[in-house]
Copies of this chain bind each other. A is one copy, B any other.
Amino acid sequence: MNERKALEADELGIVDALVQLSFLIQHVLGRVASSYELTVVHLRLLGILRDREPAMLELARYMNLDKSSVSGLVDRAERRGLARRVTTSADGRVVRVTLTPDGRRLATVASEEIGRQVNAVVESLPEAGRTQLAGLVRQILFADAARHGVDLLARVVGKDE
């Protein structure tokens, strides 16, 4: 049972491959984030807010976090001058979150850097492979979004204008 041989290249199954890829991408995100003195979560928040001005609960649902976690997250983003709370709604309970100009600027440059570094990761693939990969991943993401009724299309890290 424990006589495992070393894994050969073609023995890395799709499950392990995807899990390891997710760690690799998260590591890239972490590196970019810390180069701007941010965390991955804040980077993600900035990306989301580029296209939206969500209420706290919407943000929580979108990020799969508890509302109290989002409270703290937005607290820290406000403290750094990256986002702010606004209360424009007719419903006095609702608080929306929006980027400050500084936050928007940072979101833009960070997303460019992410673009460069993630592209560097897939550079080992030929152009055709990258196109194939993008298509396959998109299919997975859209199927998952459909399953969960989530609005996937908002970019997360953004693309250049």
Contact = CB atoms under 8 A, between A and B. Distances in A.
A125 interface: yes
State the oligomeric state as a number of copies: 2
Contacts of A24: 22, 140-141, 144
Contacts of A102: none
Best-surrounded residue of A10, A13, A51, A112 (most CB of chain B within 10 A): A13
Nearest to A51: B4
Interface string A128-142: 011011101111111
Interface of A: 1-2, 4, 6-10, 12-27, 29, 44, 51, 64, 112, 114-116, 118-119, 121-125, 129-130, 132-134, 136-144, 152-161
